[in-house]
């Protein structure tokens, strides 16, 4: 079950494909999209990442950055980002702890679930889309929440 709208988004720090550490508290005052996905280079995750890529111009017009999170390493993320020309940063949650904070980790097996959040400027969940097999529906849901 995903975090509910109106819930305070947990703060975290993760390595980013930018080469820096992403610090969520530095996003205060700005809306942003945080999407969790199971694994780089898998068919569904590739479709989801490419749908965010394809709609990225519209997200940029609203000044809303996108960050993808999985348990893959930065090295894997860099290859995935380059292969699919992803214009946004990917964050490496190798331990799965951030996914757990966001209720985006399957218990027992520890795989990251496909959940997307819109976080508002005050750090609260303003939109959520929780659908494992709806890889392309996540970006549509976030665009609707933004509008």
Q: What are the catalytic residues?
A: 45
DSSP tag of 124: B
Which is it for strands 115-119 and 13-15: parallel, antiparallel or unpaired? Answer: unpaired
C-alpha dist (Å) from residue 127 to 3, 108, 118, 124: 10, 27, 5, 9
CA distance 127 to 104: 15
| Helix/strand/coil (H/E/C) assignment for every residue in 22-82 | EEHHHHCCCCEEEEECCCCCCHHHHHHHHHHHHCHHHHHHCCCCEEEEECCCHHHHHHHHH
């Amino acid at each position: 079950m995903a975090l509910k709208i109106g819930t305070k988004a947990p703060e975290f720090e993760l390595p980013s494909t930018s080469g820096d550490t992403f610090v969520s508290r530095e996003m205060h005052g700005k809306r942003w999209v945080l999407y969790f996905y199971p694994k780089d280079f898998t068919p569904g995750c590739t479709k989801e990442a490419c749908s965010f890529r394809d709609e990225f111009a519209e997200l940029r017009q609203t000044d809303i950055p996108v960050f993808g999170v999985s348990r893959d390493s930065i090295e894997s993320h860099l290859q995935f980002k380059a292969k699919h020309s992803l214009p946004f940063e990917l964050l490496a949650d190798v331990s799965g702890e951030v996914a757990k904070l966001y209720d985006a980790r399957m218990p027992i097996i520890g795989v990251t679930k496909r959940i997307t959040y819109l976080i508002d400027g005050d750090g609260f969940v303003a939109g959520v889309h929780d659908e494992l097999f709806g890889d392309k529906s996540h970006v549509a849901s976030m665009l609707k929440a933004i509008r």
